[in-house]
Amino acid sequence: MGGMSKTYRPWNVDQAMLLPPSVQELVPAGHLAHFVRNLVRDSLDLSAILADYAEERGYPPYHPVMMTALLLYSYCQGVYSSRRIAAACEQRVDFMAITALQMPDFRTISDFRKRHLETLGALFGQVLVLCEQAGLVKLGHVALDGTKIKANASKHKAMSYGRMKQREVELAAEVQKWLEQAQAADAAEDEALGKQRRGDELPEWVANKQKRLAKMREAMAALEADAAAAASAAVCEPEPCAPPAEGAEDLEEAATPVPGSPPQPAIPAPPDKAQRNFTDPESRIMKTPNGFEQAYNAQAAVDADSQVIVAAGLTNAGNDKQQLTPMAEQIETNTGRTPKEMSVDNGYCSEDNLEALERLGIRGYVATGRQKHGKASATGKGAGRSGTRVQRMSRRLKQGGHRSRYRLRKQTVEPVFGQIKGARGFRQFHLRGLTKVADEWNLICLAHNLLKLAKAGQVGGRG
């Protein structure tokens, strides 16, 4: 090429470094990786995790403090899969700044998370304390809401009780038919195949049908047990159940019918529409903005001043009615204080919930009907429901109009769900079972609070 040559900076990919770079220099000072690593190392009490490694034998494991920092940083970055975390340890310098260039494989990461899931979820409380110390938890106004998050299960793996009954008969007939055919062929198979095969083995497809039938019967039994428990609760609800008969040795003896006494009510069968999922039986079909999904109902109470989550919960109930009191009480447990005000949508509105807010000394702003555009709360459907507390709440919101404190709800809690689902891409749980998913939700909320703490100017330097 003609003309004056341009001078470029040297670029020699084959030249070895005389001195390797410091981990502290992989990312600039003030980077979130330094903040999370230093906070986990210096500010969190991980004694419960460290105590689990008392055995001196075997190859030394990765340091539990490093693994904890790696998981928390990954959640802050919207990286949740153990395989993606392992890949980031090999490819991303910010992850290398956490691990000091160590590269745990995905199975190690997955096993560590499973082993310490409950303890990791409990770190939510410690991080919340740090947010308090940084002045981020005012509790002047707290907004509570729930959001449906997909379970790690397909809704197509659920079956109704009515369909189970029908399919049980069909499968049982198929299995019996093939069992009879297999037994009839035993002698011929023995003669044809010789001594290497007994001849009484069942074909693989027969065993699969048997397993399917057993799993279906297990699901039916679980639905029947739920129905029986619900019926028992309904019988006992009007008044306390009668105590055991005098002289009875145990509850079973006390419950034995006495000759001449009224017959015990039959235990009702589950309704045919009752469903159970075979992949994650504790998840439920729930209505979401995208239609009906196999999901859990995740709850978050958020401080209006900082969008810090001050209480987190999870349920497999599709509605929010039963969540207000435990969430309000959890705020007090987590912080030692109750918020001055609390706003929630009409999904939480009930006489019992309004009474609970009064008992806790919290001034509530609870929608009594669907919110209409341009108004603080609807005053139509639902606003005139019987019950003095609901009526008084409706008048409170109506009198406040555009200035009602209820307006803080949308701008407080809904952006938090947007940040979790949209910005950090958490739209489906990775674990299964109510307890494990609840701990996973705590980890998600913990990561959210870590980011708020970092953004508030608490980010440290490299050291």
Residue-level length of the chain = 463
Token representation of residue 123: 């770190």
List the beta bridge partners of residue 366: 344
Token representation of residue 458: 């608490």
| Cα atoms in the 13 Å half-sphere on the side-chain side of 307 | 19
Nearest residue to 211 (alpha-carbon basis) of 240, 171, 165: 171
**Rounded alpha-carbon distances, angstroms, from residue 92 to 39, 52, 58, 95, 442:** 20, 30, 30, 5, 26
Spatial separation of the C-alpha atoms in residues 74 and 84, rounded to whole Å? 9
The pTM of this model reads 0.74
Spatial separation of the C-alpha atoms in residues 177 and 354, rounded to whole Å? 60
Return per-residue pLDDT of the chain as tens, 463 residues: 455 688 888 888 888 877 777 888 899 999 999 999 999 999 999 999 999 887 776 678 899 999 999 999 999 999 999 999 999 999 999 999 999 999 999 999 999 999 999 999 999 999 999 999 999 999 999 999 999 999 998 877 666 666 666 666 666 676 666 666 666 666 556 555 555 555 455 566 566 767 767 776 777 777 777 777 777 766 555 444 444 444 444 434 444 555 555 665 566 766 766 667 778 889 999 998 889 999 999 999 999 999 999 999 999 999 999 999 999 999 999 999 999 999 999 999 999 999 999 999 999 999 997 655 444 444 444 444 445 899 999 999 998 888 889 999 999 999 999 999 999 999 999 999 999 999 999 999 999 999 999 998 754 444 4
Cα-only R_g, the chain: 29
